[in-house]
Amino acid sequence: MNPAYWLDWLALLTRWAHLIVGIAWIGASFYFVWLDNHLDAPTDPALKEKGVAGELWAVHGGGFYNPQKYRLGPPQMPGHLHWFYWEAYSTWATGFAMLVLVYFLDPALNLLDPARAAPAGYAGVAVALGFIFGGWLVYDGLCRSPLAKAGWMFGAVLALLIAQAAFALCWLFSGRGAFILFGAMLGTMMVANVAMAIIPGQRRMVAAIARGETPNPADAQRGKQRSVHNTYFTLPVLLTMISNHYAGITHAALNALALVLLAASGAAIRHWFVLRHRARERGGKTAPWTLIAGLLGITVTALLLQPPRVDGAPVDAARAQSILEARCTGCHAERPRFPGMASAPNGVMFDTPARADTRRAAIAIQVQSGAMPPGNLTGLTDAERAELLRWATVP
């Protein structure tokens, strides 16, 4: 039995499950934000009498739908009530499992970097867990403080704290580790919003209606607040989920600034979509400024991260291949030699000159950014890094 082979299968199935339940959660979240902003005040007196605050007519898949939203709740609780929370819990559980498999089991491989400040080994994992769960505690305390009623000031303080966390993570961990931990921190805030604020409030509202009492409006308001926060966290979290494929960003010298700018850009673009949902209230027009700001933030980030020009004498293929064989093909080979490695990561191999030649551009990005080898486990020297870079880029 080959443990590495079965670990690969476990990682594949966990990632697949994470993608499936994540789509379900985010899709439901986006739909309900859209729905809330498209409800019309009912014209039927009977609906008003029942306490319906808004309704919507829609057509999809050959059928007509008429969802309705009550101000606080229906006069009587229906026999069957659909809840939306297992998608959130399953997304977090599968995401945390991926963190353990890819980053925590062998922290030196993807999470830690000797050039960064986090302690080695599992002490570094403990610091990472502190950010994931400590981030929720700080955020939840802020939401429960008087500042939560201060509108834009609350948003500014929250954005500042999140930006500080991004810089701290990039100072402590490898670029790849910092980006994924930033996403895990925001994702934990999102699912804790569901588990600790939204669902408990909804349960209290349901119980009140079942007793024939009027639900507490504070529960509805708190659930709405946290739901709105979640919709702005979504695009930054999705960015970090795919970031480990782009070493030119995660391992750039300005990676912390890039993380903040890209996260802010995602939130700005999401805000534009939210405004679009409300456009009918303003005659169908939506100012494009938040969309422009988001796209501008992405453009500025791309310009800032451009790698410097490489100069110097060309390096021949034989010399480059000797460096690759000494420092890289332990993993990137048809039969990897690195302990616990069942196959070449992402199928990338350069154990022959022909294979290496087809990967020149990708090798240049990984070598120049310092992302590879992970944690420089194979001891690639600065001189060898410069030689590989010249082989890959200088004609």
Phi, psi for residue 241 in degrees, rounded to 5: -65, -30
Predicted pLDDT of residue 197: 93
Average pLDDT, the chain: 89
Neighbours of 60 (CB within 10 A): 7
Read off the tokens for 50: 């029942």
Q: What is the mean pLDDT of residues 49-54?
A: 90
In the predicted structure, residue 278 carries a pLDDT above the cut 80: no
Owner of token pair 């119980």: 207
Q: Cis ω on the peptide bond leading into residue 42 (within 30° of 0)?
A: no
Which bin fits 26, alpha (ψ -120 to 50), beta or left (φ > 0)? alpha
Q: pLDDT-based confidence at 284, cuts 50/70/90?
A: low
Q: What is the pLDDT of residues 76-119, one digit of tens each?
A: 888 888 888 999 999 999 999 999 999 999 898 889 998 899 99
Alpha carbon separation from 267 to 90, 202, 279, 291 (Å, rounded): 24, 27, 18, 10
Cβ-in-10-Å burial (0-12, 13-18, 19+) of 29 comes to buried
Q: What is the pLDDT of residues 290-344, one digit of tens each?
A: 999 999 999 999 999 988 888 888 888 889 899 988 888 888 988 888 877 778 8
- Distance between start and end Cα atoms, the chain: 47
* CB crowding 326-365: b at 16 or more within 10 Å, else e: ebbbbbbbeebebeebeebeeebbbbeeebbeebeebbbb
Read off the tokens for 146: 């008087």
In the predicted structure, residue 279 carries a pLDDT above the cut 70: no
Predicted pLDDT of residue 7: 83
In the predicted structure, residue 356 carries a pLDDT above the cut 90: no
Read off the tokens for 288: 């494009």
Owner of token pair 């701290």: 168
Q: pLDDT-based confidence at 283, cuts 50/70/90?
A: low
User: How distant is the alpha carbon of residue 146 from its chain centre?
Assistant: 29
The C-alpha angle with vertex 143 and arms to 137 and 149, in degrees rounded to 5, equals 165
In the predicted structure, residue 281 carries a pLDDT above the cut 60: no
- Report the run of H or E that residue 244 belongs to, with start and end: none
In the predicted structure, residue 214 carries a pLDDT above the cut 70: yes
Predicted pLDDT of residue 59: 93
Tell whether the torsion through CA atoms of 56, 61, 63 and 67 is positive or negative: negative
Please state the pTM of the whole predicted model.
0.87
Predicted pLDDT of residue 64: 94
Strands (E), 342-394: none
Rounded to whole angstroms, how far apart are CA atoms 86 and 91? 8
Q: What is the mean pLDDT of residues 71-78?
A: 83
Neighbours of 159 (CB within 10 A): 15
Predicted pLDDT of residue 148: 86
Q: What is the mean pLDDT of residues 123-132?
A: 97
Read off the tokens for 364: 């240049």
Read off the tokens for 18: 């994470």
> Measuring CA to CA, which residue among 139, 193, 145, 195 is closest to residue 165?
139
Three-state secondary-structure class, residue 44: coil
Bridge partners (DSSP) of residue 388 are none
Stretch among 171-175, 187-191, 291-295, 370-374 having the lowest mean pLDDT: 370-374
Instruction: Express as a percent the part of the chain with pLDDT over 70.
Output: 98
Q: Tell me the CB-side half-sphere exposure of residue 19, using CA atoms within 13 A.
A: 7
In the predicted structure, residue 378 carries a pLDDT above the cut 80: yes
Predicted pLDDT of residue 1: 61
Q: What is the mean pLDDT of residues 126-150?
A: 94
Phi, psi for residue 314 in degrees, rounded to 5: -60, 155
